[in-house]
Amino acid sequence: MLELRNIKKYYNQGTVNELCLFDNFNLSIPDHQFVSVVGSNGSGKTSMLNLVCGSIAADGGQILVNGKDITGKKEFERHQSIGRVFQDPAKGTCPSMTILENMSIADHKGNCYGLRRGKNKGKAGQYQELLRSLNLGLEDKLEVKAGSLSGGQRQALALLMATMSPIEFLILDEHTAALDPKTAELVMELTGRIVKEKQVTTIMVTHNLRYAVEYGNRLLMMHQGAAVMDCAGEEKARLQAEDIFQAFHEISMGYGN
């Protein structure tokens, strides 16, 4: 259970450009929920993810995980139970290290990074199986540097690596936005499969309204730091892309966008 309570967030505080993004923003996400978040630019989607992950600090309010306050925890501490995939495929892997080395680091997440050998021959077969499930032909490229892969391959690998270790939350920050339509489709299918398999609580920010409707069991539409639409379960299942497109259009029009 993830809870955001009375979150306040200001940008450029104390200047003429002061902008209040969140004013008493509340959100709670029960375990195993897959939330898709849509909204126009500047609506607070990515800020919300950054607040959860600790990349930016809140100016007020609390963030709780299973009832425990994590507001004061550092970014890296929070990531011990969070897997995150960024919009930029380059952020999820280390370019000058091989796929095997990358996966070894990801597999070891949550444990102590000590002086044991990083490369575990016994695990290579297991990694190959995981890579085979991507259907991108990466299983034979364990010794290839991650930097030489294409954006789609890197993003798929990043997604795989983010979910290799046991995590409580998966944070997807427009993770298909930089990919071509076909690869984006593939990465989304993979996302759906992994989330279903691992039963991990997921927050996915996307600009693709169709993905938001097709995937997940809750939909959140953000506008100016508030959730203007929030439907889950049955209601979400009945939702059509046209409905939210209409809603999206209305909020954008209403504010002169």
Summarize as ranges the residues that interact with other proteins (CB under 8 A): 74-77, 79-81, 83-84, 86, 90-97, 101, 104-106, 108-119, 162
* Cβ 4 to other proteins shortest distance, Å: 21
**What tokens were used for 59?**
């100016």
Across-strand partners of 22?
9
Residues 6+ apart with CB under 8 A from 25: 4, 6, 7, 8, 9, 44, 48, 61, 225, 226
| CB 121 to other proteins: min, Å | 13
Nearer CB in complex with other proteins: 105/231: 105
**Which is closer to other proteins, CB of 47 or CB of 208?**
47
| Of 142 and 241, CB closest to other proteins | 142
Pick 165 or 224: Cβ nearer other proteins: 165
Nearer Cβ to other proteins (100/212)? 100
| Smallest distance, other proteins to C-beta of residue 193, A | 21
**Closest-CA residue to 148 (of 101, 104, 97):** 97
Q: How far apart are CA 171 and CA 162, in angstroms?
A: 9
Closer residue to other proteins in complex, CB, 8/109: 109
Q: For residue 239, give both structure tokens.
A: 């939702």
Q: How far is the CB of 84 from other proteins (least distance, A)?
A: 5
Minimum CB separation from other proteins for residue 191, in Å?
Answer: 17
Alpha carbons 177 and 183: distance in angstroms, whole number: 10
188 close to 215: Cβ distance less than 8 angstroms: yes
Rounded Cα distance between 186 and 150, Å, is 14
Residue 31 corresponds to which tokens in the numbers above? 């375990």
